[in-house]
Structure 1
Amino acid sequence: MIQPFDQLICPLDKQPLQLNERTWCCENGHSYDVAKQGYVNLLPVQNKRSKDPGDSKAMVQARREYLSKGCYQPLAQALADTVLAMGSQALLDAGCGEGYYLRYLVEQAEQTETELSVAALDISKWAVQAAAKQDKRLSWMVASNNAIPLADNSVDTILCVFGFPVEAEFKRVLKPGGRLIMVDPAVNHLTELKAIIYPELKNKSETLPITDPDYELTSEQRVNFQVELDNNDSIKNLLTMTPHLYRASKEGRERAESLQSLTITVDAWVRTFRVST
């Protein structure tokens, strides 16, 4: 019912990869071992912009602890419903993080007996390590959205959850008529936290995250709910797992980290785009 996606390509020469026991190999002799956690690193060192790109180990740990409490479960459900409405499919989670949304989706697919062939990538090795430990049935990869190590026209659906879309590369790997499903923050997302850590709130204009005319917006749903954070650890985890940790001033972070409770608003768009060519 749930199986790994196997149409991987070599990040160096774009040739198909074949899995031989625990090593992916291409015909030109490039090889990539599957780590003990169950993932493969397909991010060549020359494609890295830093020594340790993506989310840090601390960010991944904070996100895992925060999301494991079900704080974003309504959003995960809305995403799963949108994806599984298509039925059986080949799926790529492009920017999977520690895997919370994908694991929830896979669980829902099993309950509805929906067949999925699943690949997932993230540029953070810490995120992929954490994700792969939870479910070794899927194809987990350290890789970048700028150079997705999957074959052309090979997936039905791409997920991009609070991530960074690369329109041309997404279009390359999607089948004709394939879908891109994106989750992006709406204007009121985490507004209570922002009011604490920033001296003033900036008005954020809402624009579509995709500009390529080959992507047609076919559906959008706004998911809005509140979460009660009733302990200091949850508040610290929320701050640590978001980019606001680095954007806020020291004083702003200290104000948030001193709180014992906080009610936050989760406000997000779930949008589906269909590739027309």
Structure 2
Amino acid sequence: MSYLCPLCSAPLNQHQNSYRCDSNHQFDIAKEGYVNLLPVQHKRSKDPGDNKKMMQARRQFLDGGHYQPMRDAVSELLSQQLAITKHVDVLDIGCGEGYYTSHFQHTLPDASVHGLDISKVAIRYAAKRYRDVAFLVASSQRLPFADNQMDAVVRIYAPCNGEELQRVVKHDGIVVTVTPGPRHLYQLKAGIYDEVRLHDIPVEEIPGFELASEQSVAYNMTLNSADATTLLQMTPFAWRAPEALWQQLKNADAFHCEADFTLRVYAKRSQ
């Protein structure tokens, strides 16, 4: 696998346990197998992304299978959209601890699947657990891949520079996005807001792409107290949650909550 140097954009070549460009910028391969391509000057904080506690909680929740229907639906989309008669490269942006990324590799055994995240902690745990995926620490605003390198890019809740997607995705490639549907986590929101407004995230405009398909994946979850509390911690509105809701989740034997996801496939426009 070849990457681009995050400092000078030249190709990186592997030399034993490191990657090096012609300008002699060097990036070592960690013992877990990942490579860190996020230089300090590109960081907005000392340790960006999920910390160890957040990552461990997220892994525990995902290992419970609560988001498996969505994961399987994304994998099915990739299988349907990608030609199985040739080798393909797939990139999972914002891959976290690798739960989704590993399943994509399992679903597409002949593909090269890459997991990218800004969190070094998450990537370390991902690489240690899922040895068949190429993981790297890098910014989604400066993707360290060559032009027209990816057959598919997956973004589950993850932001990315649209122009970078246009650059790295092949001419016949796709981008798959997952965003919250109108009723996602309705019961959690009802414990926070006096009135829950059902908002759907509008269709994103990605430069050089057009919307090819859209589908909803919605189902009910039954969570124990630990998973319900973790789920609330994973949401962007956790800081608004009153103490009464935290106590309700902590004391709940079974908390019933809706999951609602919108999956969209964007096809790259013909040049």
- Do they fold alike, i.e. is TM over 0.5? yes
Aligned counterparts of 1:147 and 1:66: Cα–Cα separation in 2:
30
Deviation at 1:56, TM superposition (A): 2.1
Pairing 1:49–2:48 present: no
Aligned counterparts of 2:6 and 2:243: Cα–Cα separation in 1:
40
Is the Cα contact below 8 Å between 2:114 and 2:135 reproduced in 1? yes
Aligned counterparts of 2:184 and 2:127: Cα–Cα separation in 1:
29
Give the residue type in structure 1 aligned to 2:260: D
Deviation at 1:134, TM superposition (A): 1.5
Give the residue type in structure 1 aligned to 2:108: A
Q: 1:89 is matched with which residue?
A: 88
Pairing 1:272–2:265 present: yes
Is the Cα contact below 8 Å between 1:153 and 1:172 reproduced in 2? yes
Q: 1:99 is matched with which residue?
A: 98
Deviation at 1:150, TM superposition (A): 0.9
Q: 1:3 is matched with which residue?
A: none
Is the Cα contact below 8 Å between 1:198 and 1:249 reproduced in 2? no
Aligned counterparts of 2:59 and 2:246: Cα–Cα separation in 1:
20
1:1-277 map, 5 Å: 6-85=1-80, 86=82, 87=84, 88-110=87-109, 115-208=110-203, 210-212=204-206, 214-229=208-223, 231-250=224-243, 252-276=245-269, 277=271
Relative contact order: is structure 1 or structure 2 higher (C-alpha 8 Å, sep ≥ 6)? 1
3-state SS of paired residue (1:163) = coil
Is the Cα contact below 8 Å between 1:58 and 1:240 reproduced in 2? no
Aligned counterparts of 1:190 and 1:27: Cα–Cα separation in 2:
50
Unaligned runs of 5+ in 2: none
Is the Cα contact below 8 Å between 2:181 and 2:200 reproduced in 1? no
Aligned counterparts of 1:182 and 1:235: Cα–Cα separation in 2:
25
Q: Report % sequence identity.
A: 38
3-state SS of paired residue (1:233) = helix
Aligned counterparts of 1:109 and 1:263: Cα–Cα separation in 2:
33
3-state SS of paired residue (1:197) = coil
Root mean square deviation of aligned Cα: 1.7
Give the TM-score of the pair, scaled to structure 1.
0.90
Unaligned runs of 5+ in 1: 1-5
Aligned CA distance change for structure 1 residues 264 and 93 (closer, same or farther; 3 Å): same
Give the TM-score of the pair, scaled to structure 2.
0.92
Aligned counterparts of 2:41 and 2:240: Cα–Cα separation in 1:
28
Aligned length: 266
Is the Cα contact below 8 Å between 2:34 and 2:123 reproduced in 1? yes
Q: Deviations over 1:150-169 (max 9, x none)?
A: 11111110000111132111
Deviation at 1:197, TM superposition (A): 3.3
Aligned counterparts of 1:116 and 1:94: Cα–Cα separation in 2:
16
